[in-house]
């Protein structure tokens, strides 16, 4: 079976390596020359580690910058409501871990690590799908005009997937996108007071701070979709944030505010493709289901898609030469195995966002929680932990035979 995979993000790269290590001929086509994209999510949950294990890609090499998250903090109007330490399931379990996605992809696809049956086309965007006389997808056309023939084309080309659009597959989109301003502090900033992911809710909105795998402090700030980007200086942004930060963090912000960079705005459309396959074509990862950034699910779901697809396709390949019908039946099985988990986790992400936004919209509730934080914080933390279980572990088995 010849497979063309479009997009070398976590989904496409992991699937390409897993298939080609087992002898399948794979062409992996990536539009960009390198993986240093402006922003790549980097939190891996236990669900993502389970997928890496099944793909044969664990552990992540030590040369790739990575660090375990210390915990999750929520503060309301400057008062800490609760802190949940990682691993949430207790010592000995896998913590949520920040992994430099750029370095991981570079290492995974480095020439010295690449299986012989994997060909990487970097800096060569796919421009179109190729179909045979019966309309079945049978390859891709690159922007430089080259055609790559395939028995199966896999679209792992991210949230704005060209392949999804060329195939005419509609995206059932969430009602409104989530708009986020993303800031980085310069490397010269002091380390944050802790290794946690801290969410601040207050009259200035909803913002989160953490230190990336590579040691840079990052700040995400949710803003109303479609609203103009506020034109603030670094000092003004920091002054706004300090009003709703607990004392230790507020002092850090005061000392390090001058290291804050210009924000980049993301408009994140969440959605679920009406179907994930057509004869000869399979969509996976964000191409099939653009994920919200809430509680770091996108890479994890992309890797879990890759793990299920790799297993189904390798089983097929091991049965000998495959008919087109047999390939397409496998595509239907892959979608059936993955869709329920993705749909549920998108709904849980939306619920988590709605809870945070309700708090943001309701000053009375915020003041109540802030005033009684020492009394209600523990219970609020316990409820939050329970809500996280499926967001950390997923709901489905990756191996349908287990």
CB of 32 to ligand FAD, least distance (A): 4
Contact status: 302 vs ligand FAD (CB under 6 A): yes
Contact status: 162 vs ligand FAD (CB under 6 A): yes
Contact status: 7 vs ligand FAD (CB under 6 A): yes
**3-state secondary structure string across the chain:** CEEEEECCCHHHHHHHHHHHHCCCEEEEEECCCCCCCCCCCCEECHHHHHHHHHHCCCCCCCCCCEEECCEEEEEECCEEEEEEECCCCCCCCCCCEEECHHHHHHHHCCHHHCCCCEEEEECCCEEEEEECCCCCEEEEEECCCCEEECCEEEECCCCCCHHHHHCCCCEEECCCCEEEEEEEECCCCCCCCCCCEEEEEECCEEEEEEECCCCCEEEEEEECCCCCCCCCCHHHHHHHHHCCCCHHHHHHHHHHHHHECCCEEEEECCEEECCCEECCEEECHHHCCCCCCCCCCHHHHHHHHHHHHHHHHHHHHHCCCCCHHHHHHHHHHHHHHHHHHHHHHHHHHHHHHHHHHHHHHCHHHHHHHHHCHHHHHHHHHHHHHHHHHHHHHCCCCCCCCC
**Which residues are registered as beta bridge partners of 271?**
173
Residue numbers 240-269 binding ligand FAD by CB under 6 A: 266, 268
Give the torsion through C-alpha atoms of 201, 203, 208, 209, to 10 deg.
-110
Contact status: 335 vs ligand FAD (CB under 6 A): no
Q: Which is nearer to ligand FAD, 269 or 322 (CB)?
A: 269
Which of 9, 71, 202, 263 touches ligand FAD (CB under 6 A)? 9
Contact status: 11 vs ligand FAD (CB under 6 A): yes
Count residues near ligand FAD (CB under 6 A).
Answer: 36
Of 306, 298, 314, 305, residue with least CA distance to 339: 305
Residue numbers 96-125 binding ligand FAD by CB under 6 A: 125
Q: Point out which span in 26-34, 57-65, 107-115, 313-321 binds ligand FAD (CB under 6 A).
A: 26-34
Q: Which is nearer to ligand FAD, 249 or 302 (CB)?
A: 302
Contact status: 70 vs ligand FAD (CB under 6 A): no
Q: Rounded to whole angstroms, how far apart are CA atoms 276 and 20?
A: 22
Q: Which is nearer to ligand FAD, 211 or 300 (CB)?
A: 300
Residues whose CB falls within 8 Å of the CB of residue 53, separated by 6 or more in sequence, listed in order = none
What's the token pair of residue 46?
Answer: 């236990």
Contact status: 10 vs ligand FAD (CB under 6 A): yes
Contact status: 126 vs ligand FAD (CB under 6 A): yes
- Minimal CB distance residue for ligand FAD: 298
CB of 401 to ligand FAD, least distance (A): 25
Contact status: 157 vs ligand FAD (CB under 6 A): yes
Contact status: 341 vs ligand FAD (CB under 6 A): no
- The dihedral built from the CA positions of residue 214, 220, 225 and 231, taken in this order, carries a sign that is negative
Contact status: 139 vs ligand FAD (CB under 6 A): no
Q: Point out which span in 78-86, 164-172, 295-303, 384-392 binds ligand FAD (CB under 6 A).
A: 295-303
CB of 372 to ligand FAD, least distance (A): 31
Contact status: 12 vs ligand FAD (CB under 6 A): yes
Contact status: 205 vs ligand FAD (CB under 6 A): no
CB of 102 to ligand FAD, least distance (A): 10
Contact status: 334 vs ligand FAD (CB under 6 A): no
Contact status: 297 vs ligand FAD (CB under 6 A): yes
Q: Which is nearer to ligand FAD, 151 or 157 (CB)?
A: 157
The answer, yes or no, to whether the previous bond of 174 is cis (omega within 30 of 0) is no
CB of 305 to ligand FAD, least distance (A): 8
CB of 296 to ligand FAD, least distance (A): 3
CB of 138 to ligand FAD, least distance (A): 17
Q: Which is nearer to ligand FAD, 178 or 327 (CB)?
A: 178
Contact status: 39 vs ligand FAD (CB under 6 A): yes
Residues that bind ligand FAD (CB under 6 A): 6-12, 29-32, 39-43, 125-126, 156-158, 162, 180, 182, 266, 268, 285-286, 291, 293, 296-300, 302
């Amino acid at each position: 079976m010849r497979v063309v995979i479009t997009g070398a993000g976590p989904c496409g790269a992991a699937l390409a390596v897993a298939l080609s290590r087992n002898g399948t001929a794979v062409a992996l086509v990536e539009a960009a020359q390198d993986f240093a994209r402006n922003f790549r999510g980097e939190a891996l949950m236990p669900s993502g580690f389970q997928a890496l294990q099944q793909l044969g890609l664990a552990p992540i090499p030590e040369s790739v910058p990575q660090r375990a998250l210390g915990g999750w903090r929520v503060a309301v109007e400057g008062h800490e409501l609760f802190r949940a330490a990682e691993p949430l399931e207790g010592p000995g379990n896998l913590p949520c871990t920040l992994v430099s996605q750029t370095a991981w992809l570079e290492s995974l696809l480095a020439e010295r690590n690449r299986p012989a049956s994997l060909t990487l086309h970097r800096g060569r965007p796919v421009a179109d799908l190729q179909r045979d006389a019966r309309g079945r997808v049978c390859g891709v056309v690159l922007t430089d005009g080259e055609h790559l023939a395939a028995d199966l084309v896999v679209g792992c080309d991210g949230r704005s997937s060209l392949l999804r659009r060329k195939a005419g597959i509609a995206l059932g989109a969430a009602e409104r996108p989530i708009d986020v301003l993303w800031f980085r502090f310069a490397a010269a900033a002091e380390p944050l007071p802790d290794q946690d992911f801290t969410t601040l809710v207050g009259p200035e909105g909803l913002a989160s701070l953490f230190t990336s795998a590579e040691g840079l402090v990052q700040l995400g700030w949710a803003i109303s979709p479609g609203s103009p980007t506020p034109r603030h200086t670094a000092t003004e942004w920091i002054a706004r944030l300090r009003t709703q930060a607990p004392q230790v963090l507020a002092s850090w912000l005061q000392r390090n505010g001058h290291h804050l960079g210009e924000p980049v705005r993301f408009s994140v459309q969440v959605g679920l493709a009406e179907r994930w396959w057509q004869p000869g074509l399979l969509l996976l990862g964000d191409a099939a289901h653009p994920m919200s950034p809430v509680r770091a699910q996108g890479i994890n779901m992309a890797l879990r898609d890759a793990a299920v697809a790799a297993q189904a396709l390798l089983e097929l390949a091991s049965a000998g030469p495959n008919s087109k019908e047999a390939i397409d039946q496998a595509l239907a099985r892959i979608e059936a195995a993955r869709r329920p988990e993705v749909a549920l986790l998108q709904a849980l992400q939306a619920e988590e966002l709605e809870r945070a936004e309700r708090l943001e919209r309701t000053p009375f509730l915020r003041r109540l929680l802030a005033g009684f934080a020492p009394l209600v914080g523990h219970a609020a933390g316990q409820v939050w932990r329970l809500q996280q279980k499926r967001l950390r572990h997923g709901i489905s088995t990756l191996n349908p035979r287990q």
